[in-house]
Amino acid sequence: MDSATVGKATALGTAVLLSLLAVPAHAAPLEPEPDLAGLRGVLSTAMKQGAPGAVARVDNHGSVAKTSAGIADRTTRRALATTDRFRIGSVTKTFSAVVLLQLADEGKLKLDAPVNRYLPGLLPDDRITVRHVLSHRSGLYDYTNDMFTKTVPGFEAVRSKVFTYRQLVDRSLRKPRTTAPGGAYRYSNTNFVVAGMLIEELTGNPVGIEYQNRIFGPLELADTFYVHPGMKIPGRHARGYLTPDTSGPLVDATEQTASWAQSAGAVISSARDLNTFLSALLGGRLTSAAQLAQMRKWVPAGSGQAYGLGLRRRDLSCGVSVYGHTGAVQGFYTYAFASKDGGRSLAAFVNTSNNGAVHTTMLGTLESAFCGKQAKQTKAPRGSSVGERSEAADPGAAVR
């Protein structure tokens, strides 16, 4: 064997050895470890800004890091636990989208078909498709904008009411549409009320049964419930406190029908269950690869954000993107995101809402969980307030 051949063989052998050892010559930087101290700092700051309590849990390729601070109940002063159940608000939208994508897998639904094909006469424009609804590009006005113009009075007016889906859609249709079908992203709870109607029409079952049979049961989500129109959170849970628009004491908003939200925001869960759900979804265990790819067809949705089909992408300071949803319902803010393959997931919540400073601070849990100590610290705007309107409620553009 001549020297050139030996050289080629040696180079090839080295390449094979490096491959076997999983040590490439130019290795990509390792994924940063979650910063638990950073998470604790975020929770502490949120409490100083008015949250009675806060929780964060990171599931990271088989290991778990979790922390909590503050109280679950302002009357009994019970400490908030990482296992407490809570209302997840618009994270519900991801559950609803998964059910519809499963129905697409089963051939019962086409994403680019008009909604009116399945719900004849519901919408005033046959051009509005299922995809437009799931990506907030239908132009359907968000009825919650009017419902919660005044946060506490608006909530008290609907706390015990039971709405039909049709009543909620009718509230939307009284207003002009915000964009043409397929136009720019415009967040609207009406879209996921329509999603709930589609689920019930195509399956013949209430959405709660479909959630249970398709997601809660198969994933063994023991803390996850859809109790509408029941008003109570089952089992051990955090109480949720609504911040008034102006001065005044926090309002205990724990008990409500959440009928104004339903398939847009009425699910109850825990941090563990949310991480299990997102890991399964992004790991490809809930839909086909083709439907998951549809879910990740992004449209711009604000600075550093994009929206797919019931799924949000947030781009973090360290260059990492995470996938999931935020949620707000009276008394609770929720943050549920995972890495692209679902290997690392974060679920965090505070038991207050309508507090812009707390919300902005809690977004820092994503930085600590996925960027580790590389995270850039962000300051909450002083004196900011966030209304219970847009994200079941998704309060304002920042929370969506």
Q: Which residues are catalytic?
A: 90
Q: For residues 392 and 195, is the Cβ–Cβ distance under 8 A? A: no
Q: In what order do the strands lie in the sheet with 312-315?
A: 63-70, 53-60, 344-350, 332-338, 321-329, 312-315, 305-307, 299-300
Q: Report which residue type is found at 66.
A: K
Nearest alpha-carbon partner for 256 in 248, 246, 245, 265:
265
- The DSSP annotation for 237-259 comes to B---EEPPSSSS--EE------T
For the chain, the C-alpha Rg in angstroms (whole number) is 22
In sign, the C-alpha dihedral spanning 286, 327, 124, 257 is positive
How far apart are alpha carbons 374 and 29 in whole angstroms? 13
Q: For residues 349 and 334, is the Cβ–Cβ distance under 8 A? A: yes
